[in-house]
Chain A
Amino acid sequence: MPEFSPWHDNSLTYGSQNNAPAPPKRISEDPEFHSLRRAQRRFGVRATLLSVGGFLLYVLLSHSVPGLMNQRLAGEFTLGLALGLGQFVVMGVTAWCYVRHMRTRVDPLARGLGSRMHQQEAGSRAAAPHDGSRGYPTW
């Protein structure tokens, strides 16, 4: 994919929803778009609850049931220390699952919708001169 020039972004207009072109509205009603949103959001929320909520639960448990957390597993290793190390493992697994989920479930949908959006836009742009703009001679 070719790189864009650094000043490319500056041409984007912000806060001008009023005159934004219509096509995206159609994309947003697409069932495929809905499943894209669901796929991304459901996984994100669940994984966040698992890793962040799990950690906060671990902190709470550490201070509310110290007896359980202080159980020796091997040598000086207590259950609490082991769970603490386990947090790192959970994070690693979650990150790996996230990357895999995005690559297999979300990215293809987003790419498909993106290219369709481009086509629509190109179509509407091609159709626009006929609607009465006089700046461009049609040929």
Chain B
Amino acid sequence: MVTMSAGIVDRFSLQLTFVLFLSVVVVTLFMALLTAPQRDEISEFYLGNRTMSPLRNGLAMCGDYLSAATLLGSTGLVALNGYDGLLYLGGTVVAWMMVLLLIAEPLRRAGRFTLGDTLALRLTRLQRPARLALAVCTLVITTLYLVAQLVGSIALLTQFTGEPGAATRTLCVIVIGTVVIVYAAIGGAPGATVIQIIKAVMLIAGVTVTAVMVLNHYDWNPNALLSAAANHSGTGTQFLEPGLRYGVSTTSKIDFFSLELAIVLGLAALPHVLMRLLAPRKVDVLRSSVVWAVGLVGLVCLAAGVLGLGATAVVGRDTIANTDHKGDSAVLLLANALGGGILTALLSCLAFVTLLAVAAGLTLAAATSLAHDLYGEVIRKGRASETEELMVARLSAVVIGVLAMMLALVSWGANTATLAFLAFAIAASAILPTIVYTLFWRRFTGQGALLSLWGGLACSVLLVLFSPVVSSTPGSFYPESDFAWFPLQNPGIVSIPAGFLLGWLGTVLSERRHPQEDAAYADFEVRMLVGAKE
């Protein structure tokens, strides 16, 4: 919940932030319009420029992945919880290893625009129901994540003006949402890529510079930083030991592991990251891109760790917790203490641009799935022309944007990080099993795909519904009622195995295999390992 009496930022920074943000938005909007697809081609709208260099692709991947939740939320968690917060950042980086080592290259070789296309390549039956299930899962994940970004914009606004009134909230969400819709609907993938790269460069530069300032403040002595953080945390050396947040009980330890599992496994199944993986035309470019992304995400996460520790060391844990009990204000407080109004304004602008860019990528992924899987293949059964499909994609972007804006206005007090982590958990339990089985299991069938998609989705959503996120604790949506029989905040530890189990069960229980299916998988495997017949 957002509880703040007054803003932490003075008038000068507020105006500077506004001017900076406005200029970035104007520039990127122009660039999005300039680079927007010129012709009515779905390939260009969905995937953008397919011949970008590995560095730019890596920047775009990094931009897609690191949201405002990482910049503000994770640093805040480090500032408040020390060691336990640092573990989050580790998980954020490790997730890329799975993408690099197992998913990226086979998926690129066997993929086209969406995961549905990959699935359709190897399933001989039940292609359309599987696409429908995939589209629904994609829609749920992207909407949840999109709402998290928009809610984050309100939380960020709170840092400036204190608790915003209903009119300010609505205005903020509508402005951000509209800009996002314009990026996605008009700019398509080229437009979204432009803002993604700009945002990634800003993020990496901003976070690194601030981290350098923190280290410089402590004469480049990490030990001094650590002991200052421990001294100002109010908890002494416990701050640098595990268990400050999650060591209270066995339940909370399991909860934390569940969350880490969802983060580490969920990334490979996030729809907008998957689309980004399909963009490079050549596989070796994709490989270098993902390696770049690992390095860049690692750098940002290391710097974010330094920022979090620095915030506690310089500002003090009490001040951070009193300003915002989730810790979202840690970075801005630190910037204010180190660099005054100008650095604060730069970092706040960075946070706004970050959530704008992630939201644009998400809207595009949702629109792609709706237009390509749902409209093109399920409703029109593959008979839609490219112009028609493109029209639907642009309209879907608008519809999803508006839907997310309305949901964000309804649930504006929700915790950004919680929403984002739920999206990760659903992705890991519903989509990841299907990806892994599709790529690596010869016997996998349409029934298995359907069962793991619908089952994983239902399992994770139901568990969340009956968890402390929705009821029974002061921080939940319905604090007054109590129907939370599932004790964990994050369903991952149950729903991810359930998704895999259901996929296996559906496959084992389906009818006897046709030789046709084996042939389809043999073709698919050749395509996945050797490449498509160009």
Contacts and interface: CB of A to CB of B under 8 A. Distances in A.
B531 A114 contact: yes
B247 A25 contact: no
Contacts of A99: 287-288, 291
Contacts, number: 178
B129 interface: no
Given A6-B44, A25-B522, A117-B530, A51 B90 contact: no
B87 A48 contact: no
A18 B517 CA distance: 10
B264 A56 contact: yes
B257 A60 contact: yes
Interface string B271-296: 00000000001001001100100110
Contact of B519 (A25, A74, A80): A25
Given A62-B83, A88-B302, A113 B530 contact: yes
Contact of A75 (B93, B112, B227): B227
B261 interface: yes
A87 to B, nearest CB: 5
B54 to A, nearest CB: 11
Interface stretch (B137-145, B168-176, B237-245, B391-399): B237-245
A76 B94 contact: no
A15 B298 contact: no
Given A84-B90, A94-B101, A63 B243 contact: yes
B529 A91 contact: no
Interface residues of A, number: 63
B526 A24 contact: yes
A69 B242 contact: yes
Interface string B126-158: 010000000000000000000000000000000
A55 B93 CA distance: 10
Contacts of A58: 90
Nearest to A118: B533
A44 interface: yes
Contact of B523 (A3, A20, A51, A74): A20
A129 interface: no
B223 A76 contact: yes
Contact of B94 (A47, A63, A91): A91
Contacts of A95: 97, 100, 291, 294-295
B151 to A, nearest CB: 27
Nearest to B116: A14
Given A37-B529, A80-B241, A118-B533, 13 more contacts: A6-B41, A12-B112, A17-B124, A25-B519, A44-B101, A55-B94, A56-B260, A70-B242, A76-B223, A81-B226, A84-B90, A102-B287, A113-B529
Interface of B: 41-44, 50-51, 83, 86-87, 90-91, 93-94, 96-98, 100-102, 105, 112, 117, 120-121, 124, 127, 222-223, 226-227, 230, 237, 240-243, 246-247, 253, 256-257, 260-261, 264, 281, 284, 287-288, 291, 294-295, 298, 302, 382, 386, 440, 516, 519-520, 522-523, 525-527, 529-534
14 contacts: A10-B41, A10-B43, A14-B120, A17-B519, A24-B526, A25-B523, A33-B530, A36-B530, A43-B101, A76-B223, A92-B298, A95-B97, A113-B526, A114-B530
